[in-house]
Amino acid sequence: MSNDVYPSFPGLKPNVKRIPEWNTNVKEAFNGQETRTANRAWPRWRYTLSYEFLRSNPALPERARLMAHFNKHRGRFESFLYLDEEDNAVADQTFGVTDGVATLFQLLRPIDAWLEPVWAPAAAPAIKRAGTLLTAGTDYTLGSTGQIQLAAAGSSGQTLTWTGSYYMRVCFGKDTGDFERFMSGLWQTGSIDLISEVFG
């Protein structure tokens, strides 16, 4: 698991795909009745990117940087961080309500009414309990997968909120890269799949 951030280049095509993937077992009886079992509590997200151009010269070594990132993480082997340009921050987002007992809470992000865990906070978040800002290291600690460990459970019924930014933790979807030179010093790629990781 690496905290390297996937590099950004101006030649990225605008039609980036973002696909939620679930894993469901469906068993059909002889009479046609189906039984379904959900194997995941959360979806994995598949991003599909492609580049119209990647420059390849000493001043702008974009192709080399992308190839190096791919090779450094050995294709699908090691995860890294990806910044989704349209889904990367929250402000005063509720992620729990205290019950006087629990001290461990998972940071959440909204997709309309659907709430989903944030596995890779980008920086130290601003955490509030009942509107009061908490102090990192004293009132709480932040885990590597976005879990907040409160120093004390506090009283029941206090809303926990956070403000901050986050990444998606992803890995490459395949072990091969597709780079094609179409002009001297200019390259393009086929589709590059990035698949998010799930922790729980």
At residue 51, φ and ψ (nearest 5 deg) are -120, 130
The pLDDT value recorded for residue 2 is: 93
Which pLDDT tens digit goes with each residue over 26-41? 999 999 899 999 999 9
Q: How confident is the model at residue 129 (pLDDT cuts 50, 70, 90)?
A: very high
Separation between Cα atoms, residue 190 and residue 171, nearest integer Å: 17
Which pLDDT tens digit goes with each residue over 60-78? 999 999 999 999 999 999 9
Which pLDDT tens digit goes with each residue over 81-127? 999 999 999 999 999 999 999 999 999 999 999 999 999 999 889 99
- Tokens 């039609």 map to which residue? 15
| Domain map (residue ranges) of the chain | 17-83+170-196, 89-168
Q: Span 17-22, mean pLDDT? A: 95
First to last CA, the chain: 16
- Tokens 């926990």 map to which residue? 160
The pLDDT value recorded for residue 123 is: 85
